[in-house]
Homo-oligomer: A and B are copies of this chain.
Amino acid sequence: MHASKYHINTLKEAPAEAEVKSHQLMTRAGMIRKAAGGIYTYMPLGLRILRKIENIVREEMDKAGAIELLMPVVQPAELWVESGRWEQYGAELLRIKDRHQRDFVLQPTSEEVITDIARNEIHSWRQLPLNFYHIQTKFRDERRPRFGLMRGREFTMKDAYSFDRDEASAQSSYDAMYDAYMRIFTRLGLTFRAVAADTGSIGGSRSHEFQVIADTGEDLIVYNPDTQYAANIELAEAACLIPQRGAATDALNKTSTPDAPKCELVAQQLGKPLSDTVKSIVLATDNPDDPAQATIWLLLLRGDHDLNEVKTSKLEGFENGYRFATEAEILDSFGCVPGYLGPINTIKPVTIIADRTVANMSNFICGANTEGFHYTGVNWGRDLPEAKVADLRNVVAGDPANDGGQLAIQRGIEVGHVFFLGDKYSKALNATFLETDGKPALLQMGCYGIGISRIAAAAIEQCHDEKGIIWPKSIAPFELVICPMGWHKSETVRNTAETLYQELKAQGVEVMLDDRDVRPGIMFADWELIGVPLRITIGDRGLKDGIVEIQARRQEAADKVAVADALQHALNLLNSL
């Protein structure tokens, strides 16, 4: 490709609304242009990146035995009603009406349509296992679409769906996809981690996320640096930090703690470590049969720990959801304003659940249900009955790992997710097949997503510098750019550049020759911003000595190479990237 026949249009400034690096850099490099909030045109350079990611994903999916098809963007509401998601899915599901006022959705995923296809196409156990996938435009009507391709409304996703006879076979399909994902993200040149994850709104019994490691990631990953263990913090089990409860040595004391509605302030006032305090979190679960009657819960966490909302949502009694209690409800049950609440002497009985660590604390500090007062020297059994115990908190760095050593935490960007669905959708849509005994059985399903467009953004978040993007070679829009200094003036430069261009092309290198009439500084800045992995600079000054300059985007300085060696040197460097 010659740049003069292409469309290169870089910008000096990123739009003010671009908060994250990938959004800023993709816009400045001319890879995306905004059409509306969260909706972008992929400009030529951006589309090349997207297609390269798609192709790697497609090749590995095909190798893993998945079969590509293409389900529509616009899907009939009937199927979503059948699965229950028409009701369950929130405002992110864009619902539309056609000219006859019939309901449709713009697909965010395709569980319903593929299960409908499966129930029509799969008749016999002889056809199983089957795994269908497509790479298709998705739409999620985010309330505040920001962050460019990181969280767009219209985006490209690969989603695959496996169908099996039984759970063991479905587990094999799941494992095959897990392995394929490992190969995909490795080939994409990303530093990533597969982590155990919550199944969320998709449902199913187990799942793994594939997280690109980046400081700007929204997800927190808990991992053991010494083992294979890694889990999303939402799911990561938090150990009890106190192996054995200490003796009740201190007396219970109602202590004045004015203007200390937070553990940090209490600890400060009392001159105690924060880890001696216990925080009280009051939740409510509504009674679907009697909306006026909510159940009030008191969750206890150590003062330096945070509530894990996913774990909370899985507590017994929380099946229909939970919320934070209102101030009125708190006053009604505790007779006290928030900030000084505790488990001792509540006005009405509340169900108390203590985090594992709290359950082993002794001589601790908690609210006294009187404004401006806390209890010190609190002990289980003596001052209050033993409570229900559960894992309620987020892991913190340094926590002991179940498999030895200490847990660490890093940030990640979720780019893939595999789910073991079981019969969630096949049951709802009655998708069965005939077993060997001639009787119908429910299909066992898995689903497997990869955010194609998000990968582009995640790669940038993971690797960029002050000059611009640094692409992994596998997804760079071009592998190599030739920058001739004085293309329009020097025939020698022109001939050398064109010859090298043709030689590199013949070797299968995706090469761009920048024959634009722009100053060297602008040319270099453009390609550093765009992030092409390798650059060859050819100028009259070097050519006098028979020299061209070859520089990897990651290199500090260029290699000076004899013209005759340039091709081989460039190929070697490319291979090493």
A-B contact pairs, 11 of them (CB 8 A): A7-B67, A35-B71, A35-B116, A36-B72, A36-B76, A39-B76, A41-B71, A41-B113, A47-B68, A73-B139, A98-B141
A453 to chain B, nearest CB (A): 10
Which A residues, 137 to 170, have Cβ-Cβ distances below 8 Å to chain B?
137, 139, 141, 143, 153-154
A349 CA to B262 CA, complexed, in Å: 93
User: Which B residues are CB-close (under 8 A) to A70?
Assistant: 41-42, 46-47, 50
Contact A153 B41 (CB under 8 A): no
Contact A99 B35 (CB under 8 A): no
A419 CA to B438 CA, complexed, in Å: 59
Contact A73 B137 (CB under 8 A): yes
Contact B74 A154 (CB under 8 A): yes
Contact A74 B33 (CB under 8 A): no
Write out, one digit per residue, whether chain A residues 320-361 have a CB within 8 A of any chain B CB (1) or not (0). 000000000000000000000000000000000000000000
Contact A36 B139 (CB under 8 A): no
A137 CA to B71 CA, complexed, in Å: 11
Contact B47 A69 (CB under 8 A): yes
Which A residues, 22 to 52, have Cβ-Cβ distances below 8 Å to chain B?
33, 35-36, 39-44, 46-47, 50
User: Which B residues are CB-close (under 8 A) to A121?
Assistant: 7, 9, 33
Choose from B7, B67, B96 the contact partner of A96 (Cβ within 8 Å): B96
A33 CA to B114 CA, complexed, in Å: 11
Choose from B44, B50, B73, B153 the contact partner of A154 (Cβ within 8 Å): B73
A286 CA to B36 CA, complexed, in Å: 39
Contact A35 B154 (CB under 8 A): no
A-side interface size class: 35 or more
Interface flag for A106 (CB, 8 Å): yes
Residue of B nearest to A39 (CB): B72
Contact A96 B99 (CB under 8 A): no
A1 to chain B, nearest CB (A): 9
Interface flag for A120 (CB, 8 Å): yes
Interface flag for A389 (CB, 8 Å): no
Residue of B nearest to A113 (CB): B35
Given contacts A104-B36, A143-B99, contact A72 B41 (CB under 8 A): yes
Given contacts A33-B120, A99-B141, A130-B7, contact A42 B65 (CB under 8 A): no
User: Which B residues are CB-close (under 8 A) to A113?
Assistant: 35, 41
A449 to chain B, nearest CB (A): 18
With A7-B121, A43-B117, A98-B141 known, 17 other A-B pairs at CB within 8 A are A5-B65, A7-B67, A33-B117, A35-B116, A36-B74, A36-B102, A36-B104, A39-B72, A43-B69, A44-B67, A46-B69, A47-B69, A47-B70, A73-B73, A73-B137, A91-B99, A96-B106
- Interface positions of A (Cβ within 8 A of B): 5-7, 9, 33, 35-36, 39-44, 46-47, 50, 65, 67-76, 91-92, 94, 96, 98-99, 102, 104, 106, 113, 116-117, 120-121, 127, 130, 132, 137, 139, 141, 143, 153-154
Choose from B6, B71, B132, B141 the contact partner of A67 (Cβ within 8 Å): B6
A137 CA to B68 CA, complexed, in Å: 17
A508 to chain B, nearest CB (A): 17
Contact A74 B41 (CB under 8 A): no
Please indicate which of the listed interface residues A36, A71, A76, A153 has the most CB atoms of chain B within 10 Å of its own CB: A36
Please indicate which of the listed interface residues A6, A40, A43, A92 has the most CB atoms of chain B within 10 Å of its own CB: A43
Contact B42 A74 (CB under 8 A): no
User: Which B residues are CB-close (under 8 A) to A33?
Assistant: 117, 120-121
A299 CA to B112 CA, complexed, in Å: 56
A137 CA to B76 CA, complexed, in Å: 17
Contact A153 B35 (CB under 8 A): no
Residue of B nearest to A79 (CB): B35
Contact B9 A74 (CB under 8 A): no
Residue of B nearest to A110 (CB): B41
User: Which B residues are CB-close (under 8 A) to A42?
Assistant: 69-70
Contact A117 B69 (CB under 8 A): no
A132 CA to B68 CA, complexed, in Å: 28
Contact B141 A35 (CB under 8 A): no
A127 CA to B43 CA, complexed, in Å: 15
Contact B74 A39 (CB under 8 A): yes
A75 CA to B71 CA, complexed, in Å: 21
A42 CA to B68 CA, complexed, in Å: 9
A44 CA to B73 CA, complexed, in Å: 17
